[in-house]
A and B are shown apart, each in its own frame.
Chain A
Amino acid sequence: MMTLKVNGREHQVDAEADTPLLYVLRDDLKLNAAKFGCGLGQCGSCTVIVDGQAVLSCVTPMVLLEGKQVTTLEGLGTIAEPAPIQRAFMEEQAAQCGYCIPGMMMRAQALLQKNSKPTDEQIRAELEPHLCRCGTHMRILRAVHRAARLMDTADASTTAKGSAR
């Protein structure tokens, strides 16, 4: 049994120290957003935020997460109350199949928390570990720019909602 803090809640999970976080999120906690894409750290689909940093959950064993806060896309907002990054992706219609999108959003979110006005170049460089097969890249870039603007203009109370530790 291990304790894991996800989206602000503590969970007791029956997992080994070497189990990658991805499987605990999906299998034990029944969360959908972190996706299995390769399990090898090559595609970015499984990205979540750990203590404010974007992390590939498929190569992050549980032993590394003691005392850390994990945030998944579910922790940012809901359909009814979307976080700025989620609103931005909806408004830009930034998805085709959408499978790669949650991972992209989490890395973008981590970036925007550190740097609220990233340049286009910085966004592209940051998203480098992520693959999208549908070719949604142009929209993903636009959505991240839009999210930056939304997060910038949102007042303190709403940003608190959409921020991940």
Chain B
Amino acid sequence: MRASARIIAGIAAVVLIATAATAFAIAWRPAIATIDPPGPQAFDTALVKRGRDLAAIGNCSDCHTLRGGKNFAGGLPVSTPFGTIFSTNITPDPDTGIGRWSEAAFRRAMRSGVNREGQHLYPTFPYDHFTNVSDEDDRALYAFLMTRQPVRAAPPENQLSFPFNQRLAIAGWKLLFLRHDTHRPDPKQSAEWNRGAYLVEGLAHCGACHTPRNALGAERVSAQFSGGDVDDWHAYAINEQSRSPVPWTADALFAYLREGWHPDHGTARGPMAKVVSNLSSVPASDVRAIAVYMAGVSDKPASARAEPNEAALARAGRAAQTNSAGASIYAAACASCHEGRRPLPYSGVNLSLSTAISSPDPRNLANIVLSGVDAVEGERSPIMPGFAASMNDEQASALLNYLRARFSEQPTWTDLKKTIADARRTQAVFLQTSPGPRNAPADPQQREKP
């Protein structure tokens, strides 16, 4: 977060405290009585199964499981502009988890961001989306979580500065930003579209990453899906401002969300890798619905980039006319795979189609070039070596400039060196917390026959 934003945030927070104090009466929430942990037998298996799929759509494990840690036991540090918040234990452990929560307490948390004891939860838990989840789906999620392995593990204390460490402040935040029922079915649209809208606006909480946030960390409704920040990565614009050289279609989105890659768009990386990994195991119809809905959001490319696929593809063959250092690095370090004759995703995307190279924000490209793509244990998955050790900042920016000039029509990035230096600093952190991408199987259809 930039310094100016921090100041604005501070001022706003003070105002917020005042507001919150006066709102104390309406902010107060009662505790909900504890229950005896019901035990796994208490739940219908079909319901649990349904809950498993929903939990995957909600990407619950991503925040509530530490890399290499116990499933759903929490403890993952989420850094925000206001400090570090640790995810909670949502296993049915009676003391440190949600074992003593009734379904009503669980539903209240999902709907209103209040825990069983009546405390307000930080909006890093995206209840501004989960509020849209139906009772029925909350029941299934509850059944799923209550049948997990209980793990005794209390998350570390949050590290927040005043006034953000005041839970009451959250009540004020909610007053300003939490809207219930933001999703209403649209009778003019198909059932599939409506299903997609329900998931995207609700459980899948796509906007949590892909919508920019205001100074108080709330999504800017007016700029929905125009790109956001997450874990030192840029979450691309997925509305009409998308810089994807080839516009997204429902089919492409479906394949991408399910398989983790698409020939016109490349492979899911960074935090998105875990999302697609989860979506690979849920019913295809739900992923299809998400794709159909999102295709509607993104199918109007901004005129500046409304360019036919052929032109984008043709650029791939364009001769390098920029810096020779970048060209040499590219030839030895990149071309052997990206111009190799493997099928996707194992050859890496055709760089002319790379959103990372066309994006206004070079962070993702810097992250990928420096850190590479790790193998997924025991599964077929793309591997890309990281170049952090072999390229200094100068060399990395020569390469990135070269890629930008050769594979996009976009203007040169400014401040590239700083982006690279930042990426170098943060990559270590990211590598410890982010899970690997999922298996992306070779599709024989994709293979070019000679």
Contacts and interface: CB of A to CB of B under 8 A. Distances in A.
Interface of A: 16-20, 39-42, 50, 53-56, 59-64, 128-129
Contacts of A50: 389-390
A39 B385 contact: no
B328 interface: yes
A35 to B, nearest CB: 16
Nearest to B342: A40
Contacts of B329: 18, 61, 63-64
Contacts of B328: 16-18, 61-63
B336 A61 contact: no
Interface string B80-109: 000000000000000000000000000000
Nearest to A110: B389
Interface string B389-415: 111000100000000000000000000
B8 interface: no
Contacts of B336: 39-40, 59
Contacts of B375: 42, 128
A65 to B, nearest CB: 9
12 contacts: A17-B324, A19-B332, A20-B332, A55-B390, A56-B385, A60-B332, A61-B331, A61-B333, A63-B325, A63-B329, A63-B332, A128-B375
A64 B385 CA distance: 15
- Give the interface residue-count category, chain B: 20 to 34
Given A18-B332, A41-B372, A129-B385, A60 B390 contact: yes
Nearest to B68: A121
Contacts of A60: 332-333, 390
Contact of A128 (B331, B332, B374): B374
Contacts of B324: 17
B442 to A, nearest CB: 15
B89 to A, nearest CB: 22
A96 to B, nearest CB: 21
Given A41-B337, A59-B336, 6 more contacts: A54-B389, A55-B389, A59-B332, A61-B333, A63-B328, A63-B395
B383 interface: yes
B384 interface: yes
A62 B385 CA distance: 17
Contacts of A41: 337, 372, 383-385
A49 to B, nearest CB: 9
A53 B375 CA distance: 21
Interface of B: 324-325, 327-329, 331-333, 336-337, 372, 374-375, 383-385, 387, 389-391, 395
B168 to A, nearest CB: 40
A53 B389 contact: yes
Contacts of B391: 64
A64 B389 contact: no
Contacts of A64: 329, 390-391, 395
Contacts of B390: 50, 53, 55-56, 59-60, 64
B166 to A, nearest CB: 37
A16 B387 CA distance: 20
A18 B333 CA distance: 8
> Chain A CB within 10 Å — which of B336, B372, B390 has the most?
B390
Contacts of A18: 327-329, 331-332
Contacts of B384: 41
A64 to B, nearest CB: 6
B392 to A, nearest CB: 8
Nearest to A20: B332
Contacts of A39: 336
A64 B375 CA distance: 25
Nearest to A42: B383
A16 to B, nearest CB: 8
A64 B333 CA distance: 10
A87 B372 CA distance: 32
Contact of A40 (B327, B337, B374, B395): B337
A50 to B, nearest CB: 6
A59 B391 CA distance: 11
Contacts of A40: 336-337, 383
B180 to A, nearest CB: 44
Contacts of B337: 40-41
A32 B398 CA distance: 32
A92 B372 CA distance: 32
B256 to A, nearest CB: 24
A16 B332 CA distance: 10
Contacts of B395: 63-64
